[in-house]
Structure formats: structure tokens, C-alpha cells
Amino acid sequence: MSVIGARLPRKEDPRLLRGRGRFGDDISAPGQLWARIVRSPSAHGQLRGLDVTEAANAPGIAAVVTAGDLPPGLVIPVRLAVGSADLSPYLQPVLAADMVRYVGEPLAVVVGDDPYACEDAAELVDIDIADLPAVIDAVSAGDNENGDNENGDNENGDNENGDNENTAAELTLGYGDTDAAFASARHVVSIELAIGRHTGVPLEPRCLLAVPGPENPDTGELDIFGMTKVPVFNRDLLAGMLGIDEALIHVHAIDAGGGFGIRGEFYPEDFLIPWLATRLGRPVKWAEDRAEHLVAANHSRQQHHRIAAAFDDDGRITGLRDDIVHDNGAYCRTHGVAVAELTVAMLPGPYRIPAYRGRVRVVLTNKTPCGTYRAPGRFEGTSAREHLLDVAATRLGIDPIQLRERNLLTKDDMPHHRHITTLGTDLVLDTGDYPALLAAAVKEAERLGYRDLARPQSRGFGLAMFVEKSGLGPQETADVTVTKSGAVHVFSGGTSVGQGIETVLAQIAADALGVDPGVVRVVAGDTAAQPFGAGSWASRSTVVGGTAVHHAATAVRERAVQLAARMLEAAEEDLEVRDGSIGVRGDPNARVTLAAVARAAEPAGGYLAEGEPAGLSARRRFEVARMTYPYGVHAAVVEVDAGTGRVRVLRYLVAYEIGRAINPMLVEGQLIGGVAQGIGGALFEEFSYDDAGQPQAVTFIEYRMPTAAEIPPVDVLLAQDAPSPGNPLGVMGAGEGGVNAVGAAVANAVRDALGLAGGIGRLPLTPARVRALVGAAEGAA
């Protein structure tokens, strides 16, 4: 039997649809206290005083904590350390002590018996901040290499030597002689493109509950509910900051209304709430409201690209270069400069580029700090590269699709070594036939009538290609156990953030063991059940976590066959595994169930050799040397209202090479959801700030997200023609392919609709920006 590739319903859905999910705010503990974070109202300034007396004396308040109450020197460390840059001066303190650097930075915590009392008491904290000028424009700050630093303090940008310390890091990646390529080029095309500041905006804001050990609070035992994504890492980091054994901390698996890169990283609150629980000896719960979330959780994107390509007379790329400014906000958080590195590492995409140089400067500003958001660095880089190619096609007089065809790597080029290292691994494009997928996508778009739909003057067609990365290591661990009832239990280090991990891992285990997926129970993200997990991020759950489950389940199968051979007095090679049982081929009466084999594996089961371990279970680890690289094509048809500047996406196509789809229905759902988020970033979503660093988008009135009315029909062409050679399942990740190229495809479609000779300049394409483009196009005509 094979359940891999089947469109099975999600195992999670019956529970969730019946309202039986356990999300962060659904979980409470007897006698719990509530916490409210006091946050900076200023973007930048000297913290001269913080008077908490009135708040501490308010009714129902148990404690008010400031930086002076915490152990000294507490900062949030980098989880993904890349490159050689020393980021230690730019790490965020748990609570600000002397200087504030963005609106929303935590200053204090109020703890009490009632959440509303805590909110009222938080308003009583008297905050004295001497405001300083705010750094808002990263491009100006990054370009001012010898100018004065406006951050004005030693820890984050004190300009004692006249250097520009707004730049936290600078990375340059590439290969070949780009200077020579551009010097000898017959044509050089360049554009500038700014990418807006976005965030993931999951359905539920963050929530955390920390419960000290009930029997003896002094032991340091803690139960934590609410950490997602990387619970083992967060547990170990928290244990070190608290100075306790990590085995005393149990992070429980919970449901999460979306992750998208921003949920589950270690934030200041992830230390504060457990620390308060241990200090007060009572459970402490914190639930973030939406306004708080929009200024406190990680932002992402916001890059400015100056990108250029060199071409020969036939339109073949001879060189590519990009100079990027990455606005990282006030601090370097757990991702360090990983987004910046991924931008320049992945920017060449699916093309044959003989010489490439990408330079990125990570600039600090007085805004909410940045982290990752679905397809970090790739949404940005793909937007810049693919928009440049459309502009180049116009300048060179070549059809945009033909220009791409001439420059794509082919199947014969695989594996293709980029001679670039990113996230600690060599960038080797492992497999693929890029021209074949482009041809299939163009054919599908023609079949569906995209060109005809785009023919009216106010409409345009845009296409973009991309390469993704997935399956980042270094490892994932899984346990698989068959119990005496015949049930299969999978304990994975991955986590559930809404992506369907329970269903996918159940299908993989069921396939290896020859059982119905309905008998498989998956526990993901519980540090007690799987203490060696690396979590769900970087589109790794299926590739790395799934392969670990495959290895563990295969080991259990081999063990079950070994024991069944003893039970049936048959040779192992004569046995077959199917339908939850093991039997002799051709003899329907010689068969035992997996449940019976599990009972035989007990110490008193009668079939174990001396010294042989009991139980029908296995733990296996899958280690990754290199990532795998799925790829795809996006196409969009848009309609532009020249009078209002409104852009409406009429139809959207995603063609995606997945290698092997464990559950095609879930892959298609991931891609469609990614398109919706990409349309948000292309047309609607943007955090903006005034000159004083005050955020201008603190509710969904200002931070505009697309609704179902703005999302068009999304067509999906799912290819499984290039199985990954890097894992036995042949799988590649699906989580980020739907969002990667949306900005580029929409920008190219709008450019086509408006008949622009140059680029669109900036994403998102808000009505005001589109009106400006219309005016510029009319002026040029």
C-alpha cells in the first residue's frame, strides 16, 4: 500500500473544525497571574526615569518589574549566526535600561490577578524619556559612510570615531569578474526597486503561559505553553538564561494560527514570563493584543535594490550585480543577518550568470526590529531581478519570456554549483529542468486564456521565475513506536504552525509501515516527547522532519519483520508487510498483526533474544549536508484603474516543482495561501513611520491586508518531475513557493498595463504610487 501522494484530508481538521483546538490563549492554569508589557512611546531617546510606584500600589497588582530587577546583561542572542560580523553590540536587551530605540520596546512588566487591572496599572507607569533624533531612512543612513551617527549611544551606534555605525553588517557574495563583464557589455540595464516593510500577521497574536512545578516550585521546574517553531532551541536558551537544567523545562505542543517566520522566535517576553513565574511561584500568562503585535513582533522585508545586468548582443546575461540596503530596525534579533545573506545568495535565481556580485548593508533604524517572513530575502531578491529582466526585455526589444528562455540553466547544467555559501551550506542547485517548467507554465496560461484576459488596454500580463530553498539542517530527529493495540505513535521535532505536519508525517509513517494513516498519531513540538527537535522553519518540516520519520518508521518495519519471522518460523525475505500485518507471501493463514508483534517485543513476550532491547520502536536522525532547491513560475493578469490607481489581480498562476508531493492537496493549499500573502505585500501591506519614528500602521485600518475579495482565482500547476537527490523521499519544501515571486509578477503585470519603459520603483503598489506612475507615463508620452 502507498499513501504517499494521496490527497488525504488533514488529520488536524476534525478537531479544529469542532472548536477543540488548543491555541495559546485557550490554556490557563489555576491561580495564574496576568502580565502586561509597558512599552516605549518614543522611537529614540535616553531613558531618564521609570517611576512604577503608583502602578505597584494599584489594586490587584502583584509586581512591577523593570530592567533593574533583572539579572544584569540579559540580551536576546542570535539563533542563526551567519558570516563573520560581530552583532553583539546590536542585540536587544530583555528590558531597556538606559536607551530606547523603537516605539514598542519593552520597558517594564506589570503582573496582577486580572488582565484589565494590569492594563490599567501599566498606564500609571511614569516614563521619562529625553527624545533624540530618529533614524528612519536606512538608505540615507547606510550611504552616509562618514557622517554623524544619530543613534547617539555607545551600545547601538555611538559614532566616536566618525564612522557610520548605523550599518551593523555588510556582506558581499558572488563569483566571477563582474567588473570585466560590465566593462565589456554591449548593453547594461539597471533599475532601482524598494520593497516595503511587511510582517506575517498570523491569525492569533502571541501568547505565553509559564507554570512553575506544583509540587516543589523551588526545583525550577517549568511548563511552558505558547512557544512554537523552535521549542527545543527556545527551551535550551531559556534554561541558560534562568540558570537551570534544560530537562526541568517542558515546552508543550500547542496549535498555532500560522507561523510565517515571525512566531516562535525567542522574544523578550519569552524570558520575562517564565522568569516571573519562577520568581513569584505562580503561573503567569501573557496575551498580546493586535496593536501590541504590530509594533512588537518581528517586521521583515524593507530593502532598497540598485540592480543591474550586463548583456551581449543576443540578450544573454554576462554579469549581474546588486547593491542592497536592508532596513533591519533597531536591533539584530534571533535571525541576525540571515535575511540579508539569503537575499544576495539566492538572487541569481534560475539563470546562467557567468559573473555575479551582490552587496548588502544591514542598516539599523529606529523601527521595530526585523526577522524573517515567508520567503525571506527571496521575495525581495526575486522582485528586483525579475522586474529588471522585464525592463531589460523592453530595452533590448526581446519578448520577456524569450529573454528568460535564453538565460535559464538547463537540465544538463544540474547539479549547478553557485560557488556561494549561505546559512552554512554550499549553494548547489541539486536538480531541475527550468526551461521545461517555464514552457509548461506558458502553455497552461495560454490554455486558461491569460493572454486574452490581459488584452484590454487597462490590463497587463506579468511573469516571473524563481528558485526557492528548503530543507535546511543541520538535523531533525524522530521517534516511531508501535504499541500493543497496533497504534503508531510518531514523535517529531517539527512543530505544527498550521501547515498540516500531522497529516504529512502520518502519511510518511503509514507508507513505511504498511498501515492505515488513521492509526498514526503524531506529536510535534513537545520537548519532553522529542528533546532533540530542530523545529519547523525554512520549509524543512517535510524534507528534514519527514525523512527522519521515514528512517525511524523503516527501522521499526525492519524490526517488526525480524520478530515476525521468529513468530511465524519463516525467513525474513519471504515476508510481506501490508494492511497493518506481516505475513508469508502466498499463505494467507501465516500472518501476524503489528499489534501482535508489539506484544511479542515485550520483555515477557517470549521472542526476544538475550540482551535484545524490548519494544517496537526506533529513534532516527536525518542530517542535512545541503539544502534542496524547488523552483517555479508565477504569472498574473491585473487590471489598473488609471483614475483611482487601484490595481486588481484578475487571475494568478503558480507552476511549482515539488520533487515529490506527500499530499498534493496540502501543497496546493500552501501555494495558494502564499499567493494571498504575496498580493498583500505587492499591493496593500506596508509599515510606515513619521519623521519622529512613530509608527503609522498600528491597526488593520492602517495596515491594509487583502481580504477574500482581493484574492483572485489561483491556478496551480504542480510538477513532480525532478525528485530531490538529497533525501530518500525525493521531496522539496512547499511553504514559501507561493509567495516568492508574487511581487515580481504583479509588478511586471502593472508595468505592462501602463506601458512603462522603466520600472515601477517601489512595492507595494498603492493607489497613490500607481497614480504617480500613470502621471509619469502620460508625461513621457
| 309/371 same-domain check | yes
CA distances from 466 to 96, 260, 633, 642 (A): 41, 19, 7, 30
**Whole-number Å distance between alpha carbons of 168 and 173:** 17
Residue 11 clears pLDDT 70, i.e. is over it: yes
C-alpha to C-alpha distance for 462 and 748, rounded to whole angstroms: 5
Within a domain: residue 222?
Answer: yes
Report the C-alpha gap between 349 and 326 in whole angstroms: 19
Rounded distance, CA 523 to CA 543, Å? 17
pLDDT interval class at 213 (50, 70, 90): confident
Q: What pLDDT is attached to residue 473?
A: 87
Burial class (CB in 10 A: 0-12, 13-18, 19+), 760: buried
390 grid coordinates: 522585464
Domain assignment of residue 697, yes or no = yes
CA neighbor of 423 nearest in space, from 629, 265, 729, 630: 629
Q: Is there a contact between 403 and 393 (Cβ–Cβ < 8 Å)?
A: yes
Dmax (CA) of the chain: 89
Residue ending a domain, choose from 243, 274, 296: 296
**What pLDDT shows up at residue 779?**
77
Cα 279 from Cα 218, distance rounded (Å): 10
Residue 498: pLDDT over 90:
no
Is the same domain home to 397 and 484? no
pLDDT at 150: 38
Residue 218: pLDDT over 70: no
**776, pLDDT greater than 60:** yes
H or E element at residue 555: helix 546-568
In angstroms, rounded to a whole number, what is the distance separating the alpha carbons of residues 282 and 304?
48
Mean pLDDT value across residues 731-759? 97
567: in domain? yes
Q: What is the mean pLDDT of residues 207-230?
A: 85
Residue with the three cell numbers 501590541:
292
Domain shared by 540 and 646, yes or no: no
Strand partners, 391: none
Task: Name the residue type at position 565.
Answer: A
Residue 522, in any domain of the structure:
yes
Tens of pLDDT, residue by residue over 284-308, are 999 999 999 999 999 999 999 999 9
| Arithmetic mean of pLDDT, 546-559 | 97
733 in Cβ contact with 504 (< 8 Å): no
Three-state DSSP at 472 gives coil
Q: Is residue 646 located within the same domain as residue 773?
A: yes
Per-residue pLDDT of 125-180, as tens digits, reads: 999 999 999 999 999 987 774 343 333 343 343 333 233 479 999 999 999 999 99
* Nine cell digits for residue 616: 517496537
Asked if 306 and 143 count as a contact pair (C-beta separation under 8 A), the reply is: no
Query: pLDDT tens for residues 16-39?
Result: 999 999 999 999 999 999 999 999
Q: Any idea which of 463-467, 576-580, 653-657, 747-751 has the lowest mean pLDDT?
A: 576-580
Please give the share of the chain, as a percent, with pLDDT higher than 70.
Answer: 96
| Residues 549 and 588 reside in one and the same domain | yes
How confident is the prediction for the chain on average, in pLDDT? 94
Nearest-angstrom CA–CA distance, 469 and 262:
18
Q: Please indicate, yes or no, if residue 179 is contained in any of the structural domains.
A: no
Residue 125 lies in a domain: yes
Give the number of domains in the chain: 3
Residue ending a domain, among 565, 591, 623, is: 623
Question: Do you find a cis peptide bond into 474, omega within 30 degrees of 0?
Answer: yes
User: What's 727's domain CATH number?
Assistant: 3.30.365.10
**Separation between Cα atoms, residue 145 and residue 259, nearest integer Å:** 37
Specify if 138 maps to a domain: no
**Can you give the residue range of the structural domain that contains 562?**
473-623
- Mark which of 623, 638, 654 sits at the end of a domain: 623
Residue 194 lies inside a defined structural domain of this protein: no
Beta strands in 40-161, from DSSP E residues, in sequence order: 45-51, 61-66, 99-100, 106-112, 126-131
Pair (440, 527) in one structural domain: no
- Per DSSP, helices labelled H in 571-727 are 594-600, 664-679
Residue 641 and residue 734 share a domain: yes
Q: Read off the pLDDT of residues 694-712 as tens digits, 9 standing for 90 and up.
A: 999 999 999 999 999 999 9
Angstrom distance (rounded) from CA 230 to CA 527: 10
Q: Can you give the pLDDT at residue 65?
A: 98
Q: Between β-strands 222-225 and 167-175, what pairing exists: parallel, antiparallel or unpaired?
A: unpaired
50 and 26 both lie in a single domain: yes
How much helix, strand and coil, in percent to the nearest 5, is found in the chain?
A: 30, 25, 45
Domain shared by 615 and 662, yes or no: no
Edge-to-edge strand list for the sheet holding 488-492: 520-524, 488-492, 475-482, 617-623
* Helix (H) / strand (E) containing 173: strand 167-175
pLDDT by residue (tens digit) across 247-264?
Answer: 999 999 999 988 898 988
Q: End-to-end alpha-carbon separation of the chain, Å?
A: 65
State residue 216's pLDDT score. Answer: 54
Pairing verdict, β 356-363 and 317-327 = parallel
* Interval 656-701: pLDDT, tens: 999 999 999 999 999 999 999 999 999 999 999 999 999 999 999 9
Same domain membership, residue 705 and residue 612 = no
Is beta strand 631-640 parallel, antiparallel or unpaired with respect to 106-112? unpaired
Region of 226 please: left (phi>0), alpha (psi -120 to 50) or beta. Answer: left
Residues 365 and 275 in one domain: no
pLDDT digits (tens, 9 = 90+) for 573-625: 999 999 999 999 999 899 999 999 999 999 988 899 888 999 999 999 999 98
630 and 619 assigned to the same domain:
no
Distance, CA of 334 to CA of 509 (rounded, Å): 33
Q: How many CA within 13 A on the CB side of residue 546?
A: 33
* CA dist., res. 104 & res. 87, Å (int): 22
